[in-house]
Amino acid sequence: MFIDLHTHTLPWSDDSNLEIPELVRLAKQAGLNAICLTEHEWFRDKDTLAGLSQEHDFLILPGVELNTEDGHFLVFGVDKYHFGMHRTEYLKQVVDDAGGAMILAHPYRRNFHSDADVFGAVEQYCQKPFFRLVDTVEVFNGRASERENKFSQELCRRLNLNGVGGSDAHSTSNIPSCATFFERKISNVEQLIAELKAGRFRAVDLRQDS
């Protein structure tokens, strides 16, 4: 099944102009089977999203995008903020204690310039120790350029990880773009985490695959 792991909606992400009904409509049109709401620093209530899933007849899963000293991470399985989660090591501890999953989002940001050599930039960046903490890396981001996504793909290859994709949708123009194909059916966030841990997925660029 196809899931967009990275979306933002009003009013919880104040830099987005998407509302949930519009996001769901676009996701259905794009052929997706589910979306994850990963608002900035905001934890969506699982029961509320279950009600919205029923209302829209479409699977909506909770997540969050957190800003840390090492960049942004998509986190699943954690339902509230713990002081100190801006430190990546502590964030990993919280995620592990909750039985969750942790994905490095758009790694090219602050680490790759459009005129830089992709392979040289990756070589320098992948030496950072925090990479041992992540379950995977977002290799296709719907708001990234082709070269930025190439940087993320090469980084993931160097780390020997299986990458994911997400639209990072903030507006209607971001969908359809990128998503993740999961080999097994997913019905809740616990199953999503299990499949991320098992590596039974692949990143897809819906603009290229269509």
> Alpha-carbon distance 171 to 173, whole Å?
5
Digit-by-digit pLDDT tens for the chain (210 residues) are 999 999 999 999 999 999 999 999 999 999 999 999 999 999 999 999 999 999 999 999 999 999 999 999 999 999 999 999 999 999 999 999 999 999 999 999 989 987 789 999 999 999 999 999 999 999 999 999 999 999 999 999 999 999 999 999 999 999 999 999 999 999 999 999 999 999 999 999 998 854
**Under DSSP, is residue 37 helix (H, G, I), strand (E, B) or coil?**
strand
pLDDT at 204: 97
- In 3D space, the residue among 12, 73, 56 whose CA is nearest the CA of residue 37 turns out to be 12
Distance from the first to the final alpha carbon of the chain: 15
List the CATH code of the domain at 2-209.
3.20.20.140
Query: Considering the entire predicted model, what is its pTM?
Result: 0.96
Instruction: Return the SS3 of 5.
Output: strand
